[in-house]
Structure 1
Amino acid sequence: MISYILDHPEVVAAFLSAVATGIAAWAAWKGPLAAARAAEDLRRSNDDIYERRRLKMWVFSTLMQERAYIASIDAVRALNLIDVVFRDATEVREAWANLFLAYATDSTVPRHVQEERLRLLLREMALDLGIADSLRGDDLGRVYYPQAIEEEERLRQMERKVALSRIQSQLNPTANTVVDSPAPVVWPPRPE
């Protein structure tokens, strides 16, 4: 058999050509599938990166908008999302932890320190987003909060306190006690 192959090299060439054709057919079948899979993986990765950046930008822009009154509902929601949205940004989460401690109800941290920590948090977020090079500390601290809006917020707080005290007085345990009443009258009266 070896002598036949040596005498007829065209058989070897035909065999190798058949193998090459088979490999080419396999590559033609598998190549587009692999390319499609790679393209889908890239698209999914790109979507994930875009969505992460969009959420980070939403949290940052919400806090920038609400920094004059950080106790607003939107600001509180944004603050509570920091640990999730900025999970890969240690500096942002550290700045948030320091601000959170300053906002604790039993905290004696002065107001100006709380504001400084908020500006530091905003600065760290801007660094993580890649927009800090165009922002200065003054930019983060400059807040427009007209007196009319401040008075409106104060009025809302006062109304809430009045309503809360009214409800609490209605639910006061001393207001719900039963007053001793005289002995019940039996009807009809007993015969004598």
Structure 2
Amino acid sequence: MILIEPLHPIKESVPADQVEEPLKHLEPKISWLREYLSQAKAIQEELRSLGYEKRVRLLEGVRRVWTEKLESGSLEVLKKELVKNTGYSELMVEEDLRFVAEVFKKENIDSLINSGLEGGVGSLDDFVEVAPGEYVSNLPAGPAFIIASGNSVIPPLIPTVTSLITNNLTILRPSLTNYIVIKEIFKTLEDLG
């Protein structure tokens, strides 16, 4: 099991009478961050050992499950909550939720990595020849802490997926507005992993 905690790690509960339901999310404690970040090298090595194809298959699995949930109507409550939280029209929220699948699509991830990284996807697993006698291998840059703001779920997803696919230990702190959707998306990843 890969230790991926892209959301607020809830280590303590808050009494229900003290906090309104949508805001029952605690920030990570410094002690948790220190402990988690101290495992960065081991986690990144574990991610890399999976290989690019397995990582991208997991993300493609998120796309498939998300699309099924969207088409079955099981995300209607989530959609209504997002409309209420953002003030966006239902149509705009539907488009945002529909676009989630595009972020997790293998072809889009491949294109992103191949155009942005010398050596492309192959360089994430091994050395790749980029010129005669010249080889490159891309290793994780280190822990990525993504702090997202705003209403749309897409802006926090793109750097998070990029960070995960490139073997980085990744912590995502979504905005309170889109937290419920981000949580649902990454719960799928956790279930698949």
Q: TM-score, normalised by structure 2?
A: 0.21
Higher share in strand: 2
Higher share in helix: 1
